[in-house]
Chain A
């Protein structure tokens, strides 16, 4: 009897933990999973960047990156890595980086020598999904 009660308790705790992640809004869930890519040596910029995307829609994030800092971008959609393509451009639309060339890497670091005014474009990988929530998280270290 006691064993059965204990098992039930374990199941309850497991389900509670599962729900605490997945019973959030869809973008929240993606953001929570995406946070794992911003490791503790990076300080969050305190913001959540999100967009719901359909088909080939592109979300555009406008950002200033300060010289002398290293930034980590984590870009996620869905519940696994590699669903989101993100590209970084300068204001003149020169391509700085795209994770498409790196197997849709879910995060990438950027060492900034001089302050950069940039645009980050995010779109779903059409081979993976036709719609979903795109989340971009940014951390920095000096």
Chain B
């Protein structure tokens, strides 16, 4: 009994020693709480960092636009979504990544409209593509189970989905897959703009039309995000298409006036009071609507 216990202890101690060895190999600072991570790590992780002369470009979450569309009273329209069963037809990493973004935007949209059954179908499609792209840690069975458990609690479900996409983004950046991460964002943005232009066409709602115009800078950011990978298969077509879209967006007039922000120190909140007006003609709106539909049709084909 004693001997067996000792053997177990020894095995455990060896495991602990191994764990410490791995931990020390990571060069982590130990107990100095103000110490920051040394820059010598840069070479090991430089793929995730300082893109384009130190500039990092962000793409807004598709969920925000879905909120706007629903808030404007636009009714649920399944026809504007990609079809989950098409997931098996996406064979290249390019198509898988871009449709991971598209299905993610669709998932956010159906969740906001409380379409439980559709949400499960889109989540399954997302999980399939996540597995194929090696980001199964972000879209795992635990996510599916938590998703199912929280159905009916919209905020929780949207948080879960966003966190999963953030984990995926982190994983891809850590594993020299920035181009895949950029495509996921691109897919989400294209789908989101597709929703917005469709909703604008259906409702002529001024706020939704403005949201289309407000994408002028994001399309530019997206091009900047994708341009480093221009020479990779399929990227050039997408970037060229986005540049054509950017040309149309150049006709959108955005007037910005700076107004001093107000600060509530106690609440750690700054209210940004600056104003932005968007002027987008019906003709330009139509051109954007047609171009984004064309780009999106190519991506989901």
Contacts and interface: CB of A to CB of B under 8 A. Distances in A.
Contacts of B117: none
Most buried by B among A25, A28, A110: A25
B64 interface: yes
Interface string A112-142: 1111110000001000110111000010101
Interface in A47-67: 47-54, 57-67
Contacts of B151: none
Contacts of A4: 9
Interface string B34-56: 11111101101110111000111
Main secondary structure of the interface of A (DSSP, over half): mixed
Contacts of B42: 52, 54
B217 A117 contact: yes
Interface residues of A, number: 81
B63 A64 contact: no
Contacts of A43: 61, 63, 155, 158-159, 162
Interface string B14-49: 011001101100111100011111110110111011
Contacts of A85: none
Contacts, number: 230
Given A23-B23, A94-B258, 14 more contacts: A22-B26, A23-B22, A23-B26, A43-B61, A48-B173, A62-B221, A66-B214, A68-B68, A114-B274, A114-B275, A115-B214, A116-B276, A131-B39, A140-B64
Contacts of A78: 34-37
A62 B211 CA distance: 18
B166 A47 contact: yes
Contacts of B59: 47
Contacts of A9: 12
Interface of B: 2, 5, 8-9, 12-13, 15-16, 19-20, 22-23, 26-29, 33-39, 41-42, 44-46, 48-50, 54-61, 63-64, 67-68, 71, 104, 155, 158-159, 162-163, 165-166, 169-170, 173-174, 185, 188, 210-211, 214, 217-218, 221, 224, 256, 258, 261, 263, 265, 267-276
Contacts of A108: 268-270
Contact of B54 (A27, A57, A91): A57
A64 B185 CA distance: 14
A61 B19 contact: no
Given A46-B162, A51-B50, A110-B270, A23 B56 contact: no
Contact of B16 (A12, A50, A124): A12
A129 B38 CA distance: 9
Interface string A67-103: 1111000000111100100001011101011000010
A5 B9 contact: yes
A64 B36 contact: no
A19 B269 contact: no
A131 B38 CA distance: 6
Contact of B49 (A52, A107, A110, A138): A52
A41 to B, nearest CB: 8
Contacts of A68: 68
11 contacts: A8-B13, A23-B26, A29-B28, A30-B37, A43-B159, A60-B54, A65-B272, A102-B268, A109-B270, A124-B36, A138-B58
